[in-house]
Amino acid sequence: AQKITQTQPGMFVQEKEAVTLDCTYDTSDPSYGLFWYKQPSSGEMIFLIYQGSYDQQNATEGRYSLNFQKARKSANLVISASQLGDSAMYFCAMRDTDKLIFGTGTRLQVFP
């Protein structure tokens, strides 16, 4: 069965610094997709970045980049130049046919 593991319940980072949020996954499918979502206290899941298993390059979206290491089955999210507004829960997810399987999330707190 497919599984997503996020081992960091909480992370702290100072404003303007970079931070890496860890995600490992388990799947036997050769084709899969990996996602990161941000969930502020308001509750809405905000799509950040996507990485396909066959993509040759790591995905980037503005200040977000995905460090995809296929052999290690890891898909870590890197946020550069952290901002106070980045404080939120962050979820890693994997596509399983037509649904998403989520990890337990990491709470990121950015301090001045």
Partner 1 sequence: DAGVTQSPTHLIKTRGQQVTLRCSPKSGHDTVSWYQQALGQGPQFIFQYYEEEERQRGNFPDRFSGHQFPNYSSELNVNALLLGDSALYLCASSPGLAGAWDNEQFFGPGTRLTVL
State the Cα–Cα distance between residues 102 and 112, nearest whole angstrom: 30
Whether the Cβ atoms of residue 39 and residue 90 lie closer than 8 Å to each other = yes
- With contacts defined by CB under 8 A, name the span among 10-18, 19-27, 29-37, 72-80 that binds partner 1: 29-37
Q: Which of 18, 46, 81, 84 binds partner 1 (CB under 8 A)?
A: 46
Q: How big is the CA angle at 33 (ends 12 and 76), to the nearest 5 degrees? A: 25
Other Cβ atoms within 10 Å of 4 Cβ, number? 23
- 64 part of the interface to partner 1, by CB under 8 A: no
- 43 part of the interface to partner 1, by CB under 8 A: yes
Least distance to partner 1, CB of residue 46, Å: 8
Q: Which of 12, 26, 47, 60 binds partner 1 (CB under 8 A)?
A: 47
Q: Which of 79, 93, 94, 110 binds partner 1 (CB under 8 A)?
A: 93
- 97 part of the interface to partner 1, by CB under 8 A: yes
- 91 part of the interface to partner 1, by CB under 8 A: yes
